[in-house]
Amino acid sequence: MKSIGDNIKQSRVALGLSQASVAKMLKISTPAFCKIETGQTDLNVSRLLQISKVFKVSVAQLISGNAKELDSSDELVSLKKELLEKEEEINKLRKKVIDLYDKLGM
Protein backbone atom coordinates (compact mmCIF):
# COMPACT_ATOMS: atom_id res chain seq x y z
CA MET A 1 0.00 0.00 0.00
CA LYS A 2 1.33 3.41 -0.96
CA SER A 3 1.94 6.05 1.65
CA ILE A 4 0.38 9.50 1.54
CA GLY A 5 3.83 10.86 0.66
CA ASP A 6 3.98 8.52 -2.35
CA ASN A 7 0.52 9.69 -3.40
CA ILE A 8 1.58 13.32 -3.08
CA LYS A 9 4.66 12.64 -5.21
CA GLN A 10 2.57 10.81 -7.80
CA SER A 11 0.15 13.74 -7.98
CA ARG A 12 2.98 16.27 -8.25
CA VAL A 13 4.70 14.33 -11.03
CA ALA A 14 1.40 13.85 -12.89
CA LEU A 15 0.96 17.63 -12.88
CA GLY A 16 4.52 18.16 -14.08
CA LEU A 17 5.52 20.16 -11.01
CA SER A 18 8.92 20.17 -9.34
CA GLN A 19 9.43 19.77 -5.62
CA ALA A 20 10.83 23.31 -5.52
CA SER A 21 7.78 24.83 -7.23
CA VAL A 22 5.33 23.04 -4.93
CA ALA A 23 7.41 23.99 -1.88
CA LYS A 24 7.30 27.63 -2.99
CA MET A 25 3.49 27.47 -3.39
CA LEU A 26 3.22 25.98 0.10
CA LYS A 27 5.66 28.57 1.49
CA ILE A 28 8.01 25.91 2.84
CA SER A 29 11.55 24.90 1.93
CA THR A 30 12.24 22.32 -0.75
CA PRO A 31 13.86 19.96 1.80
CA ALA A 32 10.75 20.27 3.99
CA PHE A 33 8.54 19.27 1.05
CA CYS A 34 10.92 16.42 0.20
CA LYS A 35 10.46 15.13 3.75
CA ILE A 36 6.68 15.18 3.24
CA GLU A 37 6.99 13.07 0.09
CA THR A 38 9.37 10.60 1.72
CA GLY A 39 7.21 10.27 4.83
CA GLN A 40 9.82 11.72 7.17
CA THR A 41 7.38 14.44 8.23
CA ASP A 42 3.97 13.72 9.72
CA LEU A 43 1.26 15.66 7.94
CA ASN A 44 -1.49 17.54 9.71
CA VAL A 45 -4.88 18.29 8.19
CA SER A 46 -3.96 21.89 7.51
CA ARG A 47 -0.95 20.91 5.40
CA LEU A 48 -2.97 18.25 3.56
CA LEU A 49 -5.57 20.90 2.72
CA GLN A 50 -2.86 23.21 1.39
CA ILE A 51 -1.41 20.48 -0.80
CA SER A 52 -4.84 19.43 -2.06
CA LYS A 53 -5.55 23.03 -3.11
CA VAL A 54 -2.23 23.28 -4.95
CA PHE A 55 -2.95 20.03 -6.81
CA LYS A 56 -6.67 20.84 -7.20
CA VAL A 57 -7.73 17.50 -5.73
CA SER A 58 -9.51 16.51 -2.54
CA VAL A 59 -7.71 15.43 0.60
CA ALA A 60 -9.35 12.02 0.15
CA GLN A 61 -7.77 11.74 -3.29
CA LEU A 62 -4.34 12.50 -1.81
CA ILE A 63 -4.86 9.87 0.86
CA SER A 64 -6.24 7.21 -1.50
CA GLY A 65 -3.76 7.95 -4.27
CA ASN A 66 -6.37 7.55 -6.95
CA ALA A 67 -4.58 9.13 -9.93
CA LYS A 68 -7.74 8.95 -12.02
CA GLU A 69 -9.23 11.55 -9.71
CA LEU A 70 -6.66 14.11 -10.90
CA ASP A 71 -8.61 14.37 -14.17
CA SER A 72 -11.94 14.70 -12.41
CA SER A 73 -11.79 18.51 -12.32
CA ASP A 74 -12.25 18.61 -16.12
CA GLU A 75 -15.13 16.17 -15.82
CA LEU A 76 -16.64 18.25 -13.03
CA VAL A 77 -16.49 21.42 -15.14
CA SER A 78 -18.14 19.56 -18.00
CA LEU A 79 -20.89 18.20 -15.74
CA LYS A 80 -21.54 21.65 -14.25
CA LYS A 81 -21.90 23.08 -17.76
CA GLU A 82 -24.29 20.30 -18.72
CA LEU A 83 -26.30 20.89 -15.53
CA LEU A 84 -26.64 24.61 -16.33
CA GLU A 85 -27.82 23.78 -19.85
CA LYS A 86 -30.44 21.36 -18.48
CA GLU A 87 -31.61 23.95 -15.94
CA GLU A 88 -32.04 26.50 -18.76
CA GLU A 89 -33.99 23.95 -20.77
CA ILE A 90 -36.24 23.21 -17.77
CA ASN A 91 -36.90 26.93 -17.27
CA LYS A 92 -37.85 27.33 -20.95
CA LEU A 93 -40.23 24.37 -20.70
CA ARG A 94 -41.80 25.78 -17.51
CA LYS A 95 -42.40 29.09 -19.25
CA LYS A 96 -43.94 27.25 -22.20
CA VAL A 97 -46.28 25.30 -19.87
CA ILE A 98 -47.32 28.52 -18.11
CA ASP A 99 -48.00 30.19 -21.47
CA LEU A 100 -50.12 27.22 -22.58
CA TYR A 101 -52.12 27.32 -19.33
CA ASP A 102 -52.69 31.05 -19.87
CA LYS A 103 -53.92 30.43 -23.43
CA LEU A 104 -56.33 27.80 -22.17
CA GLY A 105 -57.57 30.16 -19.48
CA MET A 106 -56.53 27.97 -16.59
- In contact, 17 and 45? CB cutoff 8 Å: no
The predicted structure's pLDDT at residue 88: 92
**Across residues 23-43, what is the average pLDDT?**
95
Per domain, the residue ranges of the chain are 1-65, 71-106
Percentage of the chain lying above the pLDDT 70 cut: 89
pTM of the model as a whole: 0.61
Query: Whose CA is closest to 52, among 38, 36, 39?
Result: 36
The topology (CATH level 3) of 1-65 is: 434 Repressor (Amino-terminal Domain) (1.10.260)
